[in-house]
Structure 1
């Protein structure tokens, strides 16, 4: 069955708002502090890892259309405990990403009170979701156009005027793989099209065969252009210290008049990306309750409150650079499990060869273990604590259920 270019463009437009978030607006600062100009070739490694993981989630979504994302895939393929670890990694990554997106919003839109701006964004986006607002194809296309046009202006301005000589350069090639891991989180919104939520119409395989590489490839080109522009205009040392790199690059390029447009784009991109992040976390929590790993009495409203509180706590506890690192590490651990799960899918459930999942698994582990030590330690601790808490909750629930069953027999 053939599909029109319009269907492919629509599918890509749905995914772009989930991808063009904190990474493109704020990710280059911590990346430049580690690897300087080497962040640009590192993006190619990030994109390859994202491409493999996107193929894996698309295959599994087709094989298990009614389960809760990666947690459900791993539970069906690998068992209960790997699924609990997957859920913990995913939730950790989502809450850290929510903090990163919100703090990016605060740095650009409310620079005087970035923390307050971040918390307001979390609450406002959650209320929009609770009210039933959804990023339809039309809304997503509009968001994509706004953000891409503004990013194009930033790139043009950054190359239109010679930069002021930089006092020095930051970063080394030794951090190439670690920066590739850090920037992986910039591509992680692809599940918006590869693993649609329940009730959403799945995308045909023929469309995804083209749309996934186009989405990842277009995102890669956008990141490459923006990264080259801000690095040229600010230099890696100045960029590493910038809380809002795109804004500072415009100011350095004598284009401060465009700063309000960047603020608008950051606000639009922040709401869109955070909407996806919160919905993704809610989906995993829903899967945990349905399978009995969390109390089944938790209703959607209560789960939404948990997501908001956890995201707000992450905003308060983690600065932007740390949030980006933890988001990348947790997300990479999550995709290590989902790629491992995709490896054992039956051949007739595959859209892409098994070697894609094998490469995705290897890259996910390599990139996660190459991230900065603080982010990796926080992620490992969070993964252990989350898995243990889920296991303990499930065990207590099982004991209470067994006790209730024995009570009538004892009378």
Structure 2
């Protein structure tokens, strides 16, 4: 199938707003607290794990075009219970990631009332989705240009002025793998192009074969440059304590006049990333309803409300660093199942070799199990509770259907 450079650029631009969300604006602070300057080499491992997972979701999306995301792929390939675990991991991860994105927005845009600002963003973005607003190619190009332009200013400012000597350094190389898992979330928006929602335009394998590596590679370069800039200007100790690293780096570099531009970029990126996160969670809930795992009477509006409430609870109950850890670990578990599902695709259904799915599976498990212990424990508990709740709901619905069927069979006999 032929493709044009314009198609490739449009596809990359469509994915960038989902990738350049909370990670580049807020992810470096908790990462620096764990590993200091080692966060920069850890980014390479994060990007490679994301690349393998992106290949797997793209292959499965092509094999199952009418199935909604990883939950649907796993249900088709591995069965009911793995699919329930996949759905639980995905929903918990999306709720936690929504909390991270919203917290980032609050810290940058409404620093005096960050929680109120974060909650307002969740509600406003959900309403945008409810009225049918979508981030098409044109809007995505605009968002990408705004965010990339502001990030370029931050990097240039951070390297233009000699930093004040730092009081100390944080982190050790022993946390490199754990930080790679934490920063995996910096790249996890690739599903925007590898597994589009129903009704959205799908991208040909020829386009994705170029667009996926370029999207991940470009994002890696951006994160590397921004991370090096804020680490140079703030030092890992100050960076670890910063709720808004890009803003504080500009202030330290005597470029406080550019702070409003960073706030605009954070707002634009926050809306775009949160829109993707909420719609992704809604898609998984819709798949559960359609498969009879949840009550079929649940309407789209009710599902949207469930997503908003879950995101708000995660925002209120978890600090940003904890929410980022939970989002990363549960999303990595989600991709472990997705890569495991991709491994069993027939060879003639593949665009990329099976070894990429094997690598994605191994890296997802390794990075997830290397996360900070509190985040890992919350993730495992949530995964178990969510899977059990879905299974219990499905069992109760099956039992009710059986009783109704038996009642209908007895009624004619009684007459």
Question: TM-score range, shorter-chain basis?
Answer: over 0.9
Task: Spell out, residue by residue over 1:76-128, the C-alpha distance to the aligned partner (whole angstroms, 9 max, x if none).
Answer: 00000000000000001100000000000000000000000000000000000
Instruction: Output aligned runs, 1:25-64, within 5 Å.
Output: 25-64=25-64
Pair 1:273-2:284 in alignment = no
Q: Which residue of 2 aligns with 1:200?
A: 200
Q: Which residue of 1 aligns with 2:243?
A: 243
Q: Which runs of 4+ in 1 moved over 4 A?
A: none
SS at match of 1:203: coil
Q: Distance in 1 between matches of 2:180 and 2:213?
A: 18
Pair 1:357-2:357 in alignment = yes
Structure 1 residue 238 displacement after superposition: 0.3
Q: Which residue of 2 aligns with 1:176?
A: 176
Q: Which residue of 1 aligns with 2:160?
A: 160
Q: Which residue of 1 aligns with 2:348?
A: 348
Task: Spell out, residue by residue over 1:366-399, the C-alpha distance to the aligned partner (whole angstroms, 9 max, x if none).
Answer: 0000000000000000000000000000000000
Q: Which residue of 1 aligns with 2:396?
A: 396
Instruction: Output aligned runs, 1:222-233, within 5 Å.
Output: 222-233=222-233
Task: Spell out, residue by residue over 1:134-192, the C-alpha distance to the aligned partner (whole angstroms, 9 max, x if none).
Answer: 10100000000000000000000000000000010000000000000000011000000
Instruction: Output aligned runs, 1:5-404, within 5 Å.
Output: 5-404=5-404
SS at match of 1:260: helix
SS at match of 2:134: coil
Count matched residues. 411
Task: Spell out, residue by residue over 1:31-55, the C-alpha distance to the aligned partner (whole angstroms, 9 max, x if none).
Answer: 0000000000000000000000000
Structure 1 residue 4 displacement after superposition: 1.2
Which blocks of at least 5 consecutive residues in structure 2 are unaligned? none
Q: Distance in 2 between matches of 1:349 and 1:408?
A: 45
Q: Distance in 2 between matches of 1:32 and 1:237?
A: 8
Structure 1 residue 266 displacement after superposition: 0.1
TM-score normalised to the size of structure 2?
Answer: 0.99
Structure 1 residue 201 displacement after superposition: 1.6
Query: Cα RMSD (Å) of the superposition?
Result: 0.5
TM-score normalised to the size of structure 1?
Answer: 1.00
